[in-house]
Structures are given as C-alpha cells and as structure tokens.
A = this chain, B = another copy of it.
Amino acid sequence: MFTKVLIAEDFDSINIALIQTLENMGVKEIEHAKYCDDALLKAKKAIQDKAPFDLLISDLSFETDYRTVSLKSGEELIMAIRKIQPEIPVLVYTVEDKSFVIKTLIKDLKVNAFVHKGRNSISQLKTAMETILFGGNFISQNLAHALKDTNFNEIEDYDVEVLTHLAKGVTIEEMELLFKSKDIKPNSKSYIEKRVSKLKDVFKAKTTIHLIALSKDLGII
C-alpha cells in the first residue's frame, strides 16, 4: 500500500472521511491541506526532507474565501506538483462530472485515477488506489460514461471564448469589434454568427439563449 499520502481537499467533512479511510487501509503517513498553496508547500518540504509523497489525492474545486491564494484549483495544483515531482501518481476525488472538464484533465494532466464523489465513492477510492498501485488507471463508471459524449471533441477554445462573451452580455456586433481590438481571428460578424449557429446544431439548442443555458449546465462556461 502507499505509505505517504497527501490530501488536498477544502471541505473538512470530506477530509475527515478520507483520513479515516486511509488509516483503515494502513497508510502510515497522511497529510492534508485545505488550500492548494499549502498542499504544494507540503509536497516541496517532503522532497527536501528526502521523503516525498507517493500519492496525491486532490479535489478539483476549492472555495474562495478571505485568503488570497496563488493556486486556485486542483488542476493548477496538479500542474505545480508535477513540475517538482513529475512521477507522482495523482488521484482526483471530485464532485465534478462534466465531461468537458474531465476530457481536458485527461488530455492535459494525465491523472492516474478519477473518483467521483458520490454514494459509493469510498469503495471506489479504495479500488482506485489499488489499481494505481499496480500501475493501472481508474475512472469512475459514471465519468467513463461521460467521456463517451461525442459532442465535445468539436469544441475549441474559440467557441468557449464566444460563448463566454455571450454569457456576459456581449452582442455579436460588439464581439466583432472586441475580437478585432484583441487581434483574435476570425472576427467578422458573420463568422461569429455562423459559429454560434454551428454550436446550436452541436448542442441541439433551439435558441442562443438555450445554447448558453446548456453550456452552463455542461460546465463549458
């Protein structure tokens, strides 16, 4: 079993459960951090002490509060830790189940396991840890299912940019000027219109309003 595990999770209740679970599994050293910045510090220190962690369990979203932080999300934390300790296995334990988000994570961060917080997530967590131990990858069933959504392969950063501006109340005419001033291309009104229209097809949205509502639901914006 793993011997030294770092947990990055903001909710105290979930921390309690994770620690209890890991203790029951026989993990000897368990450290936890409620902020990504703290987690990175702990990882750095462990390397300095020549006793690095052999597993990172991390949440994805962290609540903002009074404290100003430099790492705002699990994604940022994982990138930062992989820079100082490239080979560390990472298990993501998250409520997230938006396929768009997960797709991005797999592609960019190559995490070893995804476990979706849910009714039976603790047993999945145990299985995931054992799988990683033997060099495998683990993805919660529901997440695995979400990855099959074919739609999201077609969506590019440009689309996200357009959708985000629409959601902020920018009209297409304004967007044309905005894109030109920021030197984003293509930027013609008709091209943006066409792009929005294509997105409506992809998402089977009846109106542009509907499209933005769906994008919000899917976690794209």
Instruction: Give me the interface of A with B, judged by CB distance under 8 Å.
Output: 10-18, 20-21, 34, 63, 65, 117-123, 166-171, 205-210, 212-213, 216-217, 221
- Copies of this protein in the assembly total 2
With A13-B117, A14-B17 already in contact, 20 other A-B pairs whose C-beta atoms are closer than 8 Å: A11-B117, A12-B17, A12-B120, A12-B122, A13-B21, A14-B14, A16-B16, A16-B17, A16-B21, A17-B20, A63-B119, A65-B119, A166-B210, A167-B213, A168-B210, A168-B213, A171-B207, A208-B209, A212-B213, A213-B213
Q: Are B12 and A167 touching (Cβ within 8 A)?
A: no
Instruction: Enumerate 25 A-B pairs (CB-CB under 8 Å) in ascending A order.
Output: A10-B118, A10-B119, A11-B117, A11-B118, A12-B120, A12-B123, A13-B14, A13-B18, A13-B21, A13-B117, A16-B16, A16-B17, A17-B17, A20-B20, A65-B119, A166-B210, A166-B213, A168-B210, A169-B205, A208-B209, A209-B209, A209-B212, A213-B221, A216-B216, A216-B217
